[in-house]
Chain A
Amino acid sequence: MSASQNLVLHPEVDASRTGAHFLLGDHACAEGALYAGCRFFAGYPITPATEISEHLAERLPELGGQFLQMEDEIASMAAILGASVAGAKSMTATSGPGFSLMMENLGLGYMMEVPTVVVNVQRGGPSTGLPTSVGQQDMMQARFGSHGDITMIALAPKSPQEAFDLTVHAFSIAERLRTPVLVMMDEVVAHMHERVVIPPPGEIPIHARPKPDVAPAKYRPYKPGPDLVPPMALAGDGFAVRFTGLTHDETGKAVTTYEAQRLLVPRLREKILRNRETYERTELYRTEDASTLVVAYGITARVARRAVDLARAKGQPVGLFRPATVWPFPEEKLRSLHHVRKVVVAEINLGQVLLEVERIVGRYAEAIHVGTAGGKVPSPEAIVEACE
């Protein structure tokens, strides 16, 4: 056995970055991954996510971790799932075109119940679109992009600090619920520098993936616990696990019947929906007396905040609802503001999260969209105008 055979990926504790920094959003995201214990990254270069790869190419080997540039995004997504089943916290990062290529194996991760984190730095689309400019046009793809009935968790950071915080959070959720989690950044947040404070190691609590507490002979890889999450044995643990993307029973045996499907697919959805408290994060700003609400996420939420202040200065009762967790949408929290009569959804697309907001508030409030076609953040003035 060669020396390299002993290189097992243990997360070495890293305190080298504790403190305040002036960081690029992409780098903050990468540091968030490292803080959370990510020691395996596979990716393919693509603007505007490349800086995440470059940063981890430098940092992961320092920590004994694995950085691998794959032949494409399909391979990258497959590799991070493989790494995760062997015990690594793993991640990839990409942008629109690459995100499209990841869809099939994202679904595999969901069906196999493999924790991992996928970062999509949104640029302008469709297709190659605007590689170096901002977009929020992949939000519905995040939700429904992989075929079949999937329920994805997607977070949207508004700043480099949140790129760090929400990436840490994404790992915690992924491990806790045994599912892939998406970090839906945007090009502006990814490419801006801002203050990022990295706490000492261990200060942010991070969930661990549930481990089996039964003997290998009794272990069933898809037998859920009370929270609907099945404990996860790793490759090499001696459990002879069987994981599959086919419809399966609790043992991992492929059972391609309606009966098996009826048990499995709703359970995967319920696992996500019933554990909202583990991942749901929202921010409210000046909403107490608001009759008009702006809903915005990512970089657009910062512009919307300015719009709220501008509208308030004009005497209009406007507030901001910012879902940091965009999917599943914080439905109850939005509905708790049932005194609002108008909801302005601001996003860098032609109307995506709008559809969900309309569904939620449609009975008691009018929903209006303020968007751009990609390449530009809506202006505060346009949002104020829509609030009038």
Chain B
Amino acid sequence: MTDEETPASAGGTISAEVTPAPNGDLAALELHPYDHLLRSEALPHIWCQGCGIGTALGALLHGFEHASVPVEKRVIVSGIGCSSRVVYYAKTDAYHTTHGRAIPFATGVKLTNPTLNVVVFAGDGDLFAIGGNHFMHAARRNMDLLVVCINNFNYGMTGGQGGPTTPEGALSTTTPYGNAERPFNLPEFAAAAGASYVARWTTLDVRRLQATFTEALARHGFRFVEVLAPCPVSFGKTNKIGTGAEEMEYYYALEILKSRIESTSHVGTEIVLHRPIVVGKFVDLERETFLDRYARVVAKAKE
């Protein structure tokens, strides 16, 4: 754990107009451009040194700012797990719900007050194991939600158990002989279920994540962003990838932009240990959302 860095600074997302603080200058730290977006009294956060969640949160806050989402319209709903702790640090309306149930909770929030910009922020186990059913139905409905999945390939908070995104053969505390299951390919799953917007980046791609959140927050319908993130104490270490910085090097070596792949190439979006990881934007469609269609139901009912 660290108490030295806020998630935002960990992500290196200081915007241009602010002069970086000299090391150790507490007064200058208070001028951090994201201070007003964080509940500074709740810091230090609980994430481990080298964890990618703070980076992703920093990029999301950047997105809120750059997509000009009014502060009072920002809502984050989370489930259970390390990623879900963002609700304690981000200064938005924030709801920490039960394991896997952030999406239906967020659905209720959004439908009751469609002027809100509602983000679900959770981990791979939360969204795709226990909450998988909700994910696919919200995507099918094209519900107006931005769903951010921190995918670190295991259950980090409980000590590194295998989950629905653990690569085949990977080690975890519940797959001590290597994972016998194939993982979900999240971008394809989201696209097949009907998501209007699908992107994947690693926490190495801070500027692309910022741009993606800025774009996705301004769109409507079901939007899904997968963020591949290091879990330095569990997945990385157990699978000999290394801790935080080394996991980032792993991504640096393996990640490949979707746009750079030859159409004839056999490289797909599936994640296989030590094989190339395709990142980029996969789906970006303007489609009628649930709210658009429901407005017609109401009009018909009132006839």
Neighbouring A residues of B95 by C-beta, 8 Å: 82, 85, 112, 235, 243-244
Q: Are A80 and B108 in contact (CB under 8 A)?
A: yes
A82-B95, A242-B94 are known contacts. Are A70 and B104 too (CB-CB below 8 A)?
yes
Residues A50-84 near B (CB distance < 8 A):
58, 61-62, 64, 66, 68, 70-72, 74-76, 78-84
Q: Are B295 and A245 in contact (CB under 8 A)?
A: no
Question: Which of A6, A75, A85, A244 touches B114 (beta carbons < 8 Å)?
Answer: A6
Q: Which of B67-75, B195-203, B243-251 contacts A (4 or more CB under 8 A)?
A: B67-75
Question: Would you call B184 an interface residue if the criterion is a C-beta within 8 Å of the partner chain's C-beta atoms?
Answer: no
Max count, chain B CB within 10 A of own CB: residue among A90, A104, A245, A246: A245
Q: Are A238 and B220 in contact (CB under 8 A)?
A: no
User: On chain B, which size bracket covers the interface?
Assistant: 35 or more
Neighbouring A residues of B105 by C-beta, 8 Å: 78-79, 81-82
Question: Would you call A5 an interface residue if the criterion is a C-beta within 8 Å of the partner chain's C-beta atoms?
Answer: yes
B99-132: contact bitstring with A at CB < 8 Å (1 yes, 0 no)?
0010111111111111110000000000000000
A interface residue numbers (CB < 8 A to B): 2-9, 40, 42, 58, 61-62, 64, 66, 68, 70-72, 74-76, 78-88, 90, 104-105, 108, 112, 234-246, 252-254
> A45 to B75, alpha carbons, bound, how many Å?
30
Least Cβ–Cβ distance between B182 and chain A, in angstroms: 24
B211-239: contact bitstring with A at CB < 8 Å (1 yes, 0 no)?
00000000010000000000000000000
Least Cβ–Cβ distance between A344 and chain B, in angstroms: 41
Interface secondary structure of A, over-half rule: mixed
Q: Are A245 and B133 in contact (CB under 8 A)?
A: no
21 contacts between A and B (CB under 8 A): A4-B291, A6-B115, A8-B115, A61-B302, A66-B112, A68-B111, A70-B104, A71-B104, A78-B101, A78-B103, A82-B106, A82-B108, A83-B109, A83-B111, A104-B98, A112-B95, A235-B109, A236-B115, A238-B71, A243-B94, A243-B95
Question: Would you call B88 an interface residue if the criterion is a C-beta within 8 Å of the partner chain's C-beta atoms?
Answer: yes
Max count, chain A CB within 10 A of own CB: residue among B87, B101, B106: B101
Question: Which of A9, A62, A71, A72 touches B113 (beta carbons < 8 Å)?
Answer: A9
Q: Are A236 and B72 in contact (CB under 8 A)?
A: yes
Least Cβ–Cβ distance between B301 and chain A, in angstroms: 3
> A171 to B62, alpha carbons, bound, how many Å?
40
A70-B104, A71-B137, A87-B113 are known contacts. Are A62 and B94 too (CB-CB below 8 A)?
no
Using CB atoms, name the residue of chain A closest to B100: A74
B interface residue numbers (CB < 8 A to A): 39, 41-42, 71-73, 75, 77, 87-88, 91-98, 101, 103-116, 133-134, 137, 220, 289, 291-292, 294-295, 297-298, 300-302
Neighbouring A residues of B72 by C-beta, 8 Å: 236-238, 240
Nearest 9 A/B pairs, CB to CB: A82-B108, A61-B301, A83-B108, A75-B104, A86-B112, A78-B104, A238-B72, A244-B96, A79-B108
Neighbouring B residues of A3 by C-beta, 8 Å: 292, 295
> A71 to B112, alpha carbons, bound, how many Å?
18
> A165 to B106, alpha carbons, bound, how many Å?
31
Q: A4-B114, A4-B295 are in contact. List 14 more A-B contacts (CB 8 A).
A: A42-B104, A66-B111, A70-B104, A76-B104, A78-B101, A82-B77, A82-B110, A82-B112, A86-B112, A86-B113, A105-B98, A108-B101, A240-B72, A240-B93
Max count, chain A CB within 10 A of own CB: residue among B77, B95, B220: B95
